[in-house]
Structure 1
């Protein structure tokens, strides 16, 4: 390549240098422009990458939200259309477990004893079924109770058809009839006397007994009907109007409300006494449910109310913010050994409700892991110990069955073993029950803890924020409270009895819908306490209420003899024996079902 010769004179060199500098400047401009374009492209790429990451993060959040909503939908569908019983039928993914690969000799001995016991239970159940089938009466042998009043109606042939025939007897057919409730008006005449000459002595008349309402216009039986219909049969006042109208009297709803108020006022000391009896038990279950409370137009007088400060705060906020109603709470307390239940009404789900009711209680409180129970031992200076409910823990795990079938099946099988142990030790005394819990139940609890820490329950199999991860976290956080039943024989494994108790409030709430005032809610709690305790003792609620109400109006104040369990001993004729039979049969069926499952478990392990 031939290059252009360089000039020799100074001017030409200067000119050449100027041309070269101009070319370099142009090249630098081009390079700068290209660099700027590259910088803009890099920035655009970086922005696009950042946008992609943001979109991916948003997409992941949406995926999590979709999963969460699907789980909620699945849970709601299960609540609406799923089986209501929590008993799990064995199926695909359900595991049969023994008591560990290397159990202690004591555990092995208990397992063998459980198998022998299960075989005996199954044999006894089959024998009992055979006897029942043999003794089953024919339909023609079933008679109505002899104490029911009877009248005769003779159906004869027409006279023309009877000619030449001899009557040899009658075929008797008993038909049960029902008529509307009969109302009667009792007219009581009180004699009046006057001195014939000394008019200063005035009129002398017999002393009048205390009536349910002023003027003694309604007998105690009317008060019993109103209260029993509302809190036992769950009939609101507007339906009671129809029932009374069918008997010829149509009371106003305010009249029915006044009658309820009068009954509760007379029996309030009995409800208070039942609350004191509850505190003599070693373990008390507690649960709650919401009740709608209408916000008053003006603040009521709370100067004499023991909870006036808290009630004033809640109602004051509701009135100030213009809320038409607030979510109040009805609490239920279930004594584990004593045949007593207690209800309490509060204006909010605040811990001051249980703290107040259990202010002088010393023992164990069994319930869900609500935050108000978490530190109750500290607030009570160690008077109260909190024990957690295994049914709540199992329920949270069972909700994850669709996404984690194998893990849930394993955990539920282990939890079911805890119930099997409880079933085996049910009839033992406290010392023997506690010993079995500390050996057998502790062994199962160790297996549950080991599985919760196993690889199957860790990431990536189970993410911490997944529904099973949250359920497992619930069990880990409250492990000490869940294991507390192994330290005290009076603590049940779950709080299901108290939860069943709260169904009375939920059923009533669907009918009477709301409470119109704090006083109305407290009246309902007192009446539910009395009626709920009567139901727990399998009593004829109306017969019990009628007797104790009349005795209270007559001035009797020995409430210890008016409690349902004391009254029951004096009135065996008012015990609903069919309720006891129903519970006994249900317990026998459950016991037999679990025994058959243990035998199936045994045969599965041998294969």
Structure 2
């Protein structure tokens, strides 16, 4: 150590500087390590989310977690709320009791012989199976045991030859210059030029593609097995002809949908092949937007672009509609709903949020609670306690909806304003509580962002408490979009703008027929023939009107399936409510 005091001071200052530099380096390393740790957490959450999407269960129904099973409306509940809770428990007991009685009846009821027989209207061919002659000698025939075996016969194609009589006028007969020399019966309007294909062929092509989701190359195999192998261009021409004949029906269904007080909307992407040149867009209502998107794609050399299918679901009318756009731009819904007045329910996409301003308050936006719950559910791995609490509260909203489903609008609105608003108040209070605040839940964490989503769209999420006609979520429309997703998985892409618009029109008709539980083949066949014959009363040709006059074409088993599924859900929810007793 130096003896000089000044030298000691310089040594201490140098050591202090080194210590401060090392401390600063340690702090930088710690901050860097914290960032890497946070990044690792975020990446792990993304991996968990992707694994859940790929391999996890799709249902959001949960039975685990803190408070997840209990319908607790809080200590400050009003007498009306407490009374409703007690009524819910009593109703749950009755639902469970009725379900158990029905189950016992089904178990104790012996199977009827008619349950083992096929429908009576099916044709029957008898085949006698007997013993060989050498074994029948000396035996007396006392009867037969009948066993019904169902057979499948491949569909058959046949060619119908129409011979139109031709008559020539006698030469000596005086006739006007415009009168034809040869007279023949008037020929009906065919599906294609020359009447080469019957309406039944067009029905098969359309139903196979948009009902059974079979692309043209698979349809070739089906037709080929019946003895005729059409080219894909022929099938495409048949589809074009059917859509042209039924296009006014699709437009009528879209107009009818917009008479409902509440409409759900959702969308999904589809690949659109980039054209080599801009198609003719004269008189097209979206020509400007389509031209911009296609011109940009052609200039950049993109082989394809991401187009969009939009689905619209009327909350109370038995009709659905589809639309096709070249991009996910808000001009799609704005154009379809240009003359609509009512409530639009959907996710909180930016194009929906200001639709009330763009429509001069004709349209009110309502947010979907299923989307909000989904964002919260994705945070379960990192925040199990908070997520379980929030999901239990959201589940109460759905329990209330389950109880008031059969009530009239006035009573339903009254229950929502008393019960649902109480639960919504509990959700809002918990979102502002210490459990959902920093440092327990950081604003940039996935749960922090999910909570911010709920807070940001709180008014839209409360819209159902202001109007009894507004559902709590947009799940019906989301399920409708599964038809597009399933079809897209099979036919992969749309080859042109006109092909996408044709698909939207045909899916509008078929989707509405499915919603009305109709035999799609029978409906399309009758409506297409009547349209080709010149009938233009599209109201009478709409699926819900056609259904009333064709009860034999209603698929009752679909109604039974939905009823059984609803009963199972009702019993499940009743058992959960009973736990509060």
Q: What TM-score comes out, normalization by structure 1 length?
A: 0.91
* CA-CA distance at 1:173 after TM superposition: 1.4
- Structure 1 residues 165 and 385: CA distance shift in structure 2, 3 A: same
User: Higher relative contact order at CA 8 Å, sep ≥6: structure 1 or structure 2?
Assistant: 2
Determine if contact 1:391/1:495 at 8 Å carries over to the other structure. yes
- Structure 1 residues 124 and 146: CA distance shift in structure 2, 3 A: same
Deviation string, structure 1 residues 85-114 (Cα, Å, up to 9, x no partner): 221124566352421102111111111211
Residue of structure 1 aligned with 2:354, choices 375, 378, 383: 375
Matched, 1:121 2:95: yes
SS in 2 for 1:329: strand
- Aligned residues: CA RMSD: 2.0
Q: What's 1:24 paired with?
A: none
Q: What's 2:228 paired with?
A: 249
Residue of structure 2 aligned with 1:396, choices 343, 363, 375: 375
Determine if contact 2:66/2:385 at 8 Å carries over to the other structure. no
Q: What's 1:450 paired with?
A: 429
State how 1:354-433 maps to structure 2 within 5 Å.
354-433=333-412
* CA-CA distance at 1:134 after TM superposition: 2.8
* CA-CA distance at 1:72 after TM superposition: 1.1
Q: Using the alignment, how far apart are the partners of 1:341 and 1:127 within structure 2?
A: 38
Determine if contact 1:94/1:406 at 8 Å carries over to the other structure. no
Q: What's 2:469 paired with?
A: 490
Matched, 1:298 2:277: yes
Q: Please list every run of 5 or more consecutive structure 1 residues that lacks an aligned counterpart in the other structure.
A: 1-26, 603-607
Q: What's 2:32 paired with?
A: 58
Q: Using the alignment, how far apart are the partners of 2:160 and 2:270 within structure 1?
A: 39
Q: What's 1:9 paired with?
A: none
Q: Using the alignment, how far apart are the partners of 1:90 and 1:126 within structure 2?
A: 25
Q: What's 2:49 paired with?
A: 75
SS in 2 for 1:387: strand
* CA-CA distance at 1:79 after TM superposition: 1.6
Q: Using the alignment, how far apart are the partners of 2:398 and 2:172 within structure 1?
A: 82
Determine if contact 2:68/2:388 at 8 Å carries over to the other structure. yes
State how 1:83-122 maps to structure 2 within 5 Å.
83-90=57-64, 94=68, 96-122=70-96
Q: Using the alignment, how far apart are the partners of 2:99 and 2:60 within structure 1?
A: 23
* CA-CA distance at 1:51 after TM superposition: 4.3
Determine if contact 2:213/2:490 at 8 Å carries over to the other structure. yes
Residue of structure 1 aligned with 2:518, choices 539, 551, 554: 539
Deviation string, structure 1 residues 38-69 (Cα, Å, up to 9, x no partner): 88877766655554444333322222221111
Q: Using the alignment, how far apart are the partners of 1:204 and 1:140 within structure 2?
A: 58
SS in 2 for 1:601: coil
* CA-CA distance at 1:132 after TM superposition: 2.0
Deviation above 6 Å: which 4+ runs of structure 1? Answer: 30-34, 37-44
SS in 1 for 2:439: coil
Q: What's 1:352 paired with?
A: 331
Q: Using the alignment, how far apart are the partners of 1:556 and 1:479 within structure 2?
A: 49
Determine if contact 1:437/1:486 at 8 Å carries over to the other structure. yes
Determine if contact 1:93/1:405 at 8 Å carries over to the other structure. no
Larger radius of gyration: 1
Determine if contact 1:95/1:410 at 8 Å carries over to the other structure. no
Determine if contact 1:223/1:263 at 8 Å carries over to the other structure. yes
Q: What TM-score comes out, normalization by structure 2 length?
A: 0.95
* CA-CA distance at 1:383 after TM superposition: 0.4
Q: What's 1:479 paired with?
A: 458
Determine if contact 2:265/2:344 at 8 Å carries over to the other structure. yes
Determine if contact 1:290/1:329 at 8 Å carries over to the other structure. yes
Q: Using the alignment, how far apart are the partners of 1:83 and 1:264 within structure 2?
A: 38
Q: What's 1:564 paired with?
A: 543
Q: Using the alignment, how far apart are the partners of 1:141 and 1:588 within structure 2?
A: 23
